[in-house]
């Protein structure tokens, strides 16, 4: 899966936002794998490093761990799921956004919808 990011306004096309192009397609391999598959929100500040410095939190560095966490939630419900099945659930449960697929893919991840779909597909109570 390829993951993009969006800001508070659910956009990654705002030129005033840092890294606005870092997670958008079409990209080098877009003919085979259009990107991104989905987006996750990153904005604000995060504490990081041994000295607990505060830094801006923006871009795929913040979005990818969110999607990885969602994949882990799905796998906790359906440990036999393949990577393709997990990715499919994530993509199919995204909330649609106004910007096109080369900007936001299938849309904003929806963790609750993805977990519910995984429960339904694998018969987990």
Query: What would the pLDDT profile of 18-65 be if each residue is shown by its tens digit?
Result: 666 667 766 666 566 678 999 999 877 666 667 666 666 678 888 999
Burial of 111 (0-12, 13-18, 19+ CB in 10 A): middle
Helix (H) or strand (E) holding 74: helix 60-77
Answer left, alpha or beta for residue 95, where phi above 0 means left and psi between -120 and 50 means alpha: beta
Protein fold of 3-122: Rossmann fold (3.40.50)
The string of pLDDT tens digits covering residues 63-75 is: 999 999 999 999 9
- Flag whether pLDDT at 106 surpasses 70: yes
Parse the chain into domains and list their residue ranges.
Answer: 3-122
Global pTM value: 0.85
């Amino acid at each position: 899966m390829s993951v993009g990011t969006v800001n508070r306004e659910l956009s990654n096309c705002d030129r005033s936002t840092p890294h606005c192009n870092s997670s958008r397609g079409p990209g080098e391999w877009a003919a085979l794998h259009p990107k991104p598959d989905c987006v996750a929100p990153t904005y604000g500040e995060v504490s990081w490093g041994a000295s607990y410095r505060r830094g801006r939190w923006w871009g795929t560095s913040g979005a990818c761990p969110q999607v990885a966490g969602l994949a882990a939630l799905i796998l906790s419900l359906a440990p036999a799921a393949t990577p393709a099945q997990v990715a499919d659930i994530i993509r199919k449960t995204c909330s649609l956004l106004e910007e096109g697929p080369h900007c936001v893919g299938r849309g904003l991840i929806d963790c609750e919808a993805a977990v519910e779909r995984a429960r339904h597909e694998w018969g987990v109570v």
